[in-house]
């Protein structure tokens, strides 16, 4: 019976990690984190960034899509300026 390799997702970027690549990081509390590359690892561990606020992550794209969908439902165009605001 052939072995089935599971694709794990990067804990920061949300991208699939091909088998044989990436890094597995185990925290002191036992939580296991997977990183696709050093860019994701540094952003999460060293710089303390949140995936939701980092533009190139899948989590940020999901958040942006959600805000665009909610604005469309509310009748606002995404990126539209507020006409009552003056300089």
3-state secondary structure of 17: strand
pLDDT attached to residue 37: 93
Task: Single out the residue of 65, 3, 57, 4 nearest to residue 35, CA to CA.
Answer: 57
| Cα 74 off chain centre by | 26
Ordered structural domains, the chain, with CATH: 8-74 (2.30.170.20)
pLDDT attached to residue 1: 62
Residue of 83 and 70 predicted with greater confidence: 70
pLDDT attached to residue 39: 93
Residue 85 has pLDDT above 70, yes or no: no
What is the tens place of the pLDDT at every residue in 17-74?
999 999 999 999 999 999 999 999 999 999 999 988 888 888 888 888 887 777 777 7
């Amino acid at each position: 019976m052939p072995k089935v390799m599971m694709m794990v997702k990067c804990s920061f970027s949300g991208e699939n990690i091909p088998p044989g690549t990436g890094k597995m990081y185990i925290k002191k509390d036992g939580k296991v984190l997977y990183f696709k590359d050093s860019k994701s690892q540094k952003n999460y561990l060293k710089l303390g960034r949140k995936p939701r606020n980092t533009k190139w992550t899948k989590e940020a794209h999901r958040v942006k899509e959600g805000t665009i969908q909610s604005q469309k439902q509310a009748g606002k165009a995404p990126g539209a300026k507020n006409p009552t605001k003056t300089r």
